[in-house]
Structure 1
Amino acid sequence: MTAHTQDLRNVVLLGHSDSGKTTLIETMLYEGGAIKRRGTVENRNMVGDFTDIEHEKKKTIFSHQMFVNWRNNKINMIDTPGFDDFVGEVIASLKVADTALIVLNAASGVEVGTELVWEYVEQYRTPAIFVINQMDHPKADFEITLSQAKERFGSKVIPVQYPLNSGEKFNQIIDALRMVMYEFPAEGGKPEKISIPESEMEKANAMHNALVEIAAENEEGLMEKYFEEGNLSEEELAKGLTIALAHQQFFPVFAASGLKDMGSGRIMGFIDDIAPSPLDRPKRKMQDGTELACDATEKTTIFIYKTTSEPQVGQLFYFKVLSGTLKPGDELVNAENGETERISQLFIAEGKERISVPQLEAGDLGVTVKLKSAHTNNTLNTKGTDRKARLIEFPESRVRKAVFAESTSETEKLFAALNKIREEDPTLKVEIDHDTHEAVLGGQGQLHLELVQQRLEKEFGVKMQMKNPKVSYRETITGKADADYRHKKQSGGAGQFGEIYLKIENYYEGMEEPSGMNIRQKTIEELPWGGTLAFYWCIVGGAIDSRYIGAIKKGIMSQMKNGPLTGSPCQNIRVCVYDGKMHSVDSNDISFQLAAAGAFREAFQQAKPELLEPVYHLEILCPDEATGEVMGDLQTRRAIISGMDSEGSYQKIMAEVPLAELDDYGSTLRSICGGKAKFTMKFSDYQLVPANIRQELVKKYATEKAEV
């Protein structure tokens, strides 16, 4: 159950939904003797997918850590969701894995979910093994799927095996590395090793030679030995192939049926013999640019990649030992907050089961409980050691909803529960929009937010309502205008008096200084909501005392915070205060604050005011046949197509789209493409709202204001 660093294999299973990852991993656990019988999705008794929500959805939603002892090695395996909505689970798991096992559906080929995870495999430079699974499916086609993988992932995708037959009669796999054919009984399980048919020898030899060449590039003398003896054992090839795999010089391809237990044992043998241990991987880059070797004799450092919570247990912390040897009772210091944490208990996970262990060496994966101030992405070190691992970079939200409780009395309970879920799921964002004052929940897709809604009700007993959020518009001007405003109030005793003359115009960086003005003071302020205010004090001769500058600026800012058109913040404006009057008795801060607000308001309305809307850059990956419909839908959303490209059998569309037009876009895209599409969105900039839409928004604001 515990292993030395060189005997560890950390594998993450990746792939599109319905590629069969969870079934395959269940079979691998069975083949390795970790379980006595295989569970099924239908019977809700698998080692992975053990949560109630996963049972209900019949899909993997959370990553699950498992292990199996195979020969002399311990193989840690992490199952991950195939839905794009739960990509955070995939990214976090890849962070701690040393090998990715990418599962392809033999009937569907390379799907968009695989395209998505490949980006992260490349980002982390993770060695990858492909498994073309479900070879028993009636529509299975190994050659087409292999061809798609080569087209999308490059010439380094090299088959180690191929099936002699596929579909419902699938039961034979030719292995070009061992140069043997495996023939499986009808019910699956342990195969019989038989000679490769003469008709397949030419193809098998060509594949074997390709593997020898890859190994020989990394192992001196291997090619000469092959030419002399005409044959090499897998053990002789292992060292060269391990180096090649560890450095992403090749991505081997296997054939299997996880459901029928055909081929999984051979995959595990390859992982055991060829897949890199943590020692074979490059030193880990730390946040400060230094490197950390995976060395069990070094001081201890662990990295928390995932947190969950369980009733009666509390929080569980899943981690990887980056260096050193961890034991119960060890005290580590959190590099993020300086808090000392005691590792009271140490476990390894087998799905929902936790097994207590006496220690974990560098490279191993484990679980602990009852940490006081630890979170996902935290690094914990032996006292006196100052190390911080590079953080997991989770993606930006792709869908946003305004959320609220069913009743005011449940509001506090709702947000306390949301914060607990957010602690487990860093791709979930909860924030208050300072412009609209709405609570906004951001996630990776509609399914993601619906799952949160379901969890809130079932686990916390609180109902959350969702609606499309208001859009945070901005106001600006495109022209120039002068205005003067006098504030005068007399109500017995000291009164209020302030008079201001000012000029406003659109501001942009590098513009010329205003002509005809005696500039005495200027400030360029970055506004809290974005954009700029350039404030010029051009008063000469003491018409207004300089002690009122702060009050005048405050009055202008009060109007800019709630603009005249729609109550939205104003930005990118230059204001020149150049004249005015004051009274020796009645002038004060409030007088000039109100005068400045009035003058700004009047000038703004005369300076060709415009409304700006947030525009997002979208990148959409969709099947080639759906491109036309996706483009047509974008046109209805006022999108500007900025580019197109092809990625394998998929089309990549780049577009600039107003946020106001993106409500429920993920659901629409999924419907158009049958779930075989993905998109990312990132804020681009603010752009002018078309005149007709601006008029509607201004009219709506005026009506709402009149009703208050």
Structure 2
Amino acid sequence: MVTNTSNLRNVVLLGHAGSGKTTLAETMLFEGGEIKRRGTVQAHNTVSDNTDIEHEREATLFSHQLLVHWRENKINVIDTPGADDFVGEVVGSLKVADTALIVLNAAGGVEVGTELVWEYVERFKTPAVFVVNQMDHPKADFESTLQQAQQRFGPKVLPVQYPLNSGQEFNQIVDALRMVLYEFPAEGGKPFKKEIPESELPKAKAYHNALVEIAAENEEGLMERYFEEGTLSEEDLAKGLTIALAHQQFFPVFVASGWKDMGTGRIMGFLNDIGPSPADRPSRILTDGTALGCSSEDKTTLYIYKTTSEPQVGMLSYFKVLAGTVKPGDELVNAQNGEVERIAQLFVARGKERLPVEKLQAGDLGVTVKLKSAHTNNTLNAKGVQREIRPMEYPESTIRKAIFTNNAADTEKLFAALNKIKEEDPTVALSIDQETREAILGGQGQMHLDLVKQRLQKEFGIEMEMKNPRISYRETITSKASAEYRHKKQSGGAGQFGEIHMVVENYYEGMPDPQGYSIRQKEIEDLPWGGTLAFYWCIVGGAIDNRYIGAIKKGIMTQMKNGPLTGSPCQNIRVIVFDGKMHSVDSNDISFQLAASGAFREAFEKAHPQLLEPIYHLDILCPDESTGDVMGDLQTRRAMITGMDTEGHYQKIMADVPLAELNDYGSNLRSITGGKAKFSMKFSSYQLVPANVQQQLVAKYTDLTLHE
């Protein structure tokens, strides 16, 4: 069945882990008649969580595209993971959704996972509907959860419903939009409609009037009618609220128990009646600054938001039709690489089930298989069309591990498998550290990397080991020192001779030229690994020919690439070559290269050398009650607290922390806060290593060097 754009609703389920998204999705499918019996996460038979790994962990790890028909509309539902380790799945899903259904745990309130996804809801300007779920939980507290949501997300959060009772006896919902009481049978399902008790009328009317005012502000003529009649019809309310929701002018709040199937049907009805269709959403701004509206009458453009692979099937591409229509046999051009892709087969997805369709209209979500060179974030256009959707931006890795295999023969297979996984999950980072030569795997948390390791074993038969990566230190000096070094070698035939006198000292930007030297040449060079080398050639009287400058610099750079302390690169150093000797026969480039290397090493070691370590800036969001524990843990990691602030009902701690102290920080933070905190990190600078730490690092390097 072909669905018109105006009859489509694309909804993404978001929320903290444990808020009940998958159970709610299962109930939505059941209420819409897509399934005859509801599965459970514990029984491993839900439509959404359908992979072996998800069954094993009893948690959503991947986004899953579902669909349900409700009255005249088709609602595409994307269930997403709640753990912030899998935020990449959330980002892709939000990119193509037109409404976010944010699920809150009535017992837990607004948890940190909700905070995380809200950042992306605001970035994508996605209309949002809140569902306070698990109202049947013994500790369910609607009022507290509503208050938290309003504090964190603002006064636009307005209740459409509230529970008349909660906890294990939950079965009654007051609907302030329709001004009716829904009472559910013990087995859930379709409720009985009753009058609101007189004691609840003032509260219900206050909520109702707030909704009427929102609706009246968004439709011409409704405000005047509202003042004249004191209220608005249900049809007028729907018009005004649809506009308000589509433009993020209000965020309605519903209540439900997905487990008991209470309240789900009303949420579906609201999405059907008031939720924006793709045509109601603002035009997309393309990479060239032009706008693309969602119209089936336009030329075809698809956007691939997710790719996966299946045995015996190959690569599956999940996409949204942003404009035009698509059908099997269509040939589209990849805007990123110019490749022509043929849509051989066309499906819609209901979990792992793929249902073939003849055509998809603008705004719809679909799946195709075996595209040649199309990837996540790619735009496919009809021939002759030049459009490119702005790509998704994924968060930086919060954890890095050095990876290796015990069997060297598996190394090539390991990288091939990781690149396949990276294709499906762009938040996986894979690189080679140019200094340590280690293969580095980056991810969003230990759980994320553990999942990658598990997939490598189960899907590819590869055993991967992980360890903490070596830290890329830097070396510098803190005082001024001089050295004279003579390289002399005599054997049969021509010998080698070169003598250099040099001064080294710490360099900083804007430093005045050295006094007391006749400066013949000056070079300020930015080093490939960061920092600066300031090279001064101050030779007078022809003690050393200018033709040896290049060889001398090469000798200095050789030593700087592998510093004397720990073999780490040196930076921010000024070198003054002011005297030396040469021999008319035995001097050559190699002689002065070796002499320069020796002189630099001797001067460096006398100039109070100092190790520098990479410092990362952390922003940590945690509950108020965990602030002391989080700060105490940071102090054990040599952290410098740079500030504190509040963000919603969370405390924000800002700190600069040595990278060497951040191994497994995410896991530890999750442990000490009960999973209610999150953090982001980015490189800040290189700073001096404490003396005791430097002694340990130098001793370790010396010991390794002696045993090589």
Which TM-score band (shorter chain)? over 0.9
Deviations 1:308-356 (A, max 9, x none): 1100011111112222222222222222222222222221111111112
- Structure 2 distance, partners of 1:308, 1:408, is 28
Equivalent pair of 2:626/2:672 in contact (CA under 8 Å): yes
SS for the counterpart of 1:257 is coil
Match of 1:251 in 2: 251
Q: Counterpart of 1:118?
A: 118
Describe the SS at the equivalent of 1:349: strand
Partner of 2:203 in structure 1? 203
- 1:319 and 1:548 map into 2 onto residues whose CA distance is 62
Is the contact made by 1:640 and 1:655 (CA closer than 8 Å) also made in structure 2?
A: yes
| Deviation by residue 1:466-524 (Cα, 9 ceiling, x = unmatched) | 11111111111122222232222111112222222222222222222233333333333
**Cα distance, 1:341–1:553 mapped onto 2, change above 3 Å:** farther
Judge conservation of contact 1:160–1:207 (CA < 8 Å) in 2. Answer: yes
Where does residue 335 of structure 1 map in the other structure? 335
- Other-structure match for 2:532: 532
After superposition, where does 1:687-702 map in structure 2 within 5 Å? Answer: 687-702=687-702
Is 1:662 aligned to residue 648 of structure 2? no
Give the AA of the match of 1:476: T
**Within 2, Cα distance between the matches of 1:554 and 1:339?**
46
The residue that corresponds to 1:583 in the other structure is 583
In 2: Cα distance, 1:392 partner to 1:698 partner: 43
Q: How much does 1:579 deviate?
A: 2.8
Determine the structure 2 residue equivalent to 1:269.
269
Q: Which residue of 2 aligns with 1:608?
A: 608
More deviation, 200-209/46-55:
200-209
Q: Is 1:645 aligned to residue 663 of structure 2?
A: no
2:411 corresponds in structure 1 to 411
In 2, the alpha carbon distance for the partners of 1:320 and 1:218 equals 29
- Once the two structures are TM-superposed, the CA of residue 620 in structure 1 deviates from its matched residue by 1.2
Partner of 1:105: 105
Q: Give distance in 1, aligned partners of 2:5 and 2:480.
A: 70
Q: Is the 8 A contact 1:615 1:657 kept in 2?
A: yes
CA distance in 2, matches of 1:313, 1:579: 72
**Amino acid in structure 2 at the alignment position of 1:118:** W
Q: 1:224 to 1:685 in 2, by over 3 A?
A: same
Structure 2 Cα separation of the partners of residues 433 and 586 of structure 1: 40
The residue correspondences of 1:421-436 to structure 2 (distance < 5 A) are: 421-436=421-436
Structure-1 residue corresponding to 2:222: 222
The whole-number CA distance in structure 2 between the counterparts of 1:540 and 1:292 is 69
CA contact (8 A) 1:67 1:76 kept: yes
In 2 relative to 1, CA 286–547 (structure 1 residues): closer, same or farther, beyond 3 Å? farther
The one-letter amino acid of 2:528's match is P
1:618 and 2:604 aligned? no
Q: Using the TM superposition, give the Cα deviation of residue 541 of structure 1 relative to its aligned residue in structure 2, in angstroms.
A: 4.1
The alignment-based identity, stated in percent, is 76
2:352 corresponds to: 352
How far residue 227 of structure 1 moved from its aligned partner, in angstroms, is 4.0
- Per the alignment, do residues 180 and 659 of structure 1 end up closer, same or farther by CA in structure 2, a change over 3 Å counting? same
Matched with 1:77 is: 77
Looking at structure 2, the residues matched to 296 and 501 of structure 1 have their Cα atoms a distance apart, in angstroms, of 77
Give the Cα separation in 2 of the matches to 1:173 and 1:48.
Answer: 27
1:2, 1:74 within 8 Å by CA — same for their partners in 2? no
In the TM superposition, what are the counterparts of 1:312-323 in structure 2 within 5 Å? 312-323=312-323
Q: How does 1:378-393 map to 2 (within 5 A)?
A: 378-393=378-393
Distance 1:705 1:85 in 2: 39
Match in the other structure for 1:155: 155
Q: How many residues are treated as equivalent by the alignment? A: 708
* TM-score normalised per structure 1: 0.97
Query: What's the offset of the Cα at 1:377?
Result: 1.5
CA offsets per residue over residues 595-615 of structure 1, 9 Å max, x none?
Answer: 111111111112221100011
| Partner secondary structure for residue 440 of structure 2 | strand
| Distance apart, 1:683 and its partner CA | 1.0
1:567-578 → structure 2 map (5 Å cutoff): 567-578=567-578
* AA matched with 1:445: G
1:471 aligns with 2:471: yes
Aligned equivalents of 1:524, 1:338: Cα separation in 2: 43
The equivalent residue for 1:515 is 515
The CA deviation at 1:548 is 2.6
- Tell whether 2:518 aligns with 1:485: no
RMSD of Structure 2 on Structure 1 (CA): 1.5
Task: State the partner residue of 2:368.
Answer: 368
CA gap 1:58/1:528 in 2 versus in 1, 3 angstroms: same
Cα distance change of structure 1 residues 480 and 385 upon mapping to structure 2, 3 Å threshold: farther
Partner of 1:283: 283
**Match of residue 684 from structure 1:** 684
Residue 34 of structure 2 aligns to a residue whose secondary structure is: coil
Partner of 1:64: 64
Counterpart of 2:673 in structure 1 is: 673
Q: Distance in 2 between matches of 1:521 and 1:117?
A: 56
The more displaced of 53-62 and 369-378 is: 369-378
Residues in 1 aligned to 2:128 and 2:38: alpha-carbon distance in whole angstroms: 26
Q: State the AA in 2 paired with 1:131.
A: V
Deviation at 1:223, TM superposition (A): 3.0
Q: Specify the SS of the correspondent of 1:167.
A: coil
Deviations 1:26-49 (CA, angstroms, capped at 9, x unpaired): 111111122122111122111100
Describe the SS at the equivalent of 1:420.
Answer: helix
Tell me the residue number matched to 1:48. 48
38-47 vs 319-328, greater mean Cα deviation: 319-328
d(CA) in 2 for partners of 1:345 and 1:498? 73
Instruction: Please say if residues 174 and 181 of structure 2, whose CA atoms lie closer than 8 Å, have aligned partners that are also in contact.
Output: yes
- Counterpart CA distance in 2 for 1:27 and 1:90 is 21
CA distance in 2, matches of 1:358, 1:572: 65
2:601 counterpart SS class: helix
| 1:649-679: CA deviation from partner (whole Å, max 9, x where unpaired) | 3211111111111111112111111111111
Larger CA deviation: 489-498 vs 42-51: 489-498
Partner of 1:705: 705
Q: What is the distance in 2 between the residues matched to 1:375 and 1:531?
A: 37
Q: For the Cα contact (< 8 Å) 1:131–1:256, is it kept in 2?
A: yes
After TM superposition, the structure 1 stretch with the greater mean CA deviation from structure 2, 629-638 or 282-291, is 282-291
Q: Give the secondary structure class of the aligned counterpart of 1:597.
A: helix
| Whole-Å separation in 2 of the counterparts to 1:298 and 1:429 | 37
Equivalent residue letter for 1:591: S
**What is aligned with 2:36?**
36
Residue 88 (structure 2) aligns with: 88
Does 2:16 correspond to 1:19? no
| Residue identity in the other structure for 1:356 | P
CA distance in 2, matches of 1:111, 1:683: 27
SS of the equivalent of 1:168 reads coil
Shift of 1:233: 3.0
Amino acid at match of 1:106: A
How many Å apart are 1:396 and its aligned residue? 0.9
Cα pair distance change 1:534/1:267, threshold 3 Å: same
Distance 1:301 1:519, change over 3 A: farther
Provide the residue aligned with 1:168 in structure 2.
168
Partner of 2:559: 559
Per the TM alignment, residue 543 of structure 1 is displaced from its structure 2 partner at its CA by 3.2
